[in-house]
Amino acid sequence: MKTNIHIIALKVAFLIGFVVSSDSYADIWVVSSSNSNIVSLSKEQCQFIWLGELDAVDGYRVIVADQFTSSKVRTRFYWLVARMDQEELRAHWAKKVFTSGRFPPESVSDDFAVIEWVKKEKNRLGYIDSKSYIDGLKVLYVIKE
């Protein structure tokens, strides 16, 4: 009887752990100020914009911000959008700077710094954890795990 209780307890603990761990990451939102001319973005547009291949959407020039390399949101963003880890991203930008003279996006410290940065000008873009959303932003693309 004790063995059955232990097995049931282990199964319950496993299921609780699975539910908690599968919900541990919030969505990542690509955002701009609420008065941005940009209506929405696709995953491909996000990839091309943040990798320096595209600098305008719907005829409007965009400027993007990155988060610091230590940011978990940054690591998840680049993996989910471009399937690149931080080393691959560094190599990409080293090559791009050398071959085309284009530089990586400006880096800011965290979600709240991104929010303040994008709100300063019309067509600035950034990415944040969806839990950090505040009024005054327009969500252009939702990245789900």
Residue 81 lies in a domain: yes
Within-domain flag for 59: yes
Token pair 């965290």: residue: 110
CATH number, position 116: 3.40.190.10
Counting as low any pLDDT under 50, the low residues of the chain are 6-23
Write out the two tokens for 99: 């071959």
Beta-strand relationship, 28-33 and 137-143: antiparallel
- Rounded to whole angstroms, how far apart are CA atoms 128 and 76? 11
Counting the structural domains of the chain, the total is 1
- Residue 76 included in any domain: yes
Q: Residue 79: what residue type? A: W
> What pLDDT sits at residue 2?
53
Per-residue pLDDT of 106-134, as tens digits, reads 999 999 999 999 999 999 999 999 999 99
- Could you tell me the pTM of the whole model? 0.82
* The token pair that represents 39 in the structure block: 């209506």
Please check whether residue 78 is in contact with residue 87, taking contact to mean a CB–CB distance below 8 angstroms. no
- Examine residue 2 and state whether it is found in any structural domain, yes or no: no
Domain span at residue 117 reads: 26-143
Report the pLDDT value the prediction gives residue 145, as an integer from 0 to 100: 80
Note whether residue 105 is domain-resident.
yes
Residue 16: inside a domain: no
